[in-house]
Amino acid sequence: MLLLWLGMQDASLTSRARDTVPQSLCEPLLIAALQMDRDRSVERLVAGWPWQRLFLRNYVPPMFGPRVPGCCQRYPSYGNDLEMCEHMRRGVKQTTCLAHTFIECLKRHTGTKLQYLDLTGYPSG
């Protein structure tokens, strides 16, 4: 966990970690970057994503749609309006960052393998 925290402190460290750690650690790195609101780290991870698909719902709880009964641990229950607003703010920020990075990678023809970004259940504009 310390490695993930240290790797997310700086985008250049994230790039280095992404290029040196096994592919199986790319997902925990992305989760850490999303949870810590490290947009630059998310950008670096998506730019070098080792798989063809990325489903945001695998990394953060969905924002809209029915809640699945029996999955209380995965989906947040909001104690007040401030918690709900913060969850919405983070969701908008995360989807915007992911979508922008994905489009930039396509425009620049970078070496990303990512071909499909699924933001279903999240706001995107």
What pLDDT shows up at residue 76? 53
The first and second tokens of residue 46, run together, are 């998506």
Calculate mean pLDDT across residues 10-28: 79
pTM of the shown model: 0.71
pLDDT digits (tens, 9 = 90+) for 30-44: 888 888 888 888 888
Contacts for 38 with CB less than 8 Å, ≥ 6 apart: 8, 9, 11, 14, 32
DSSP lists the bridge partners of residue 117 as 54
Domain ranges of the chain: 2-118
User: Does an H or E element contain 20, and which?
Assistant: helix 11-20
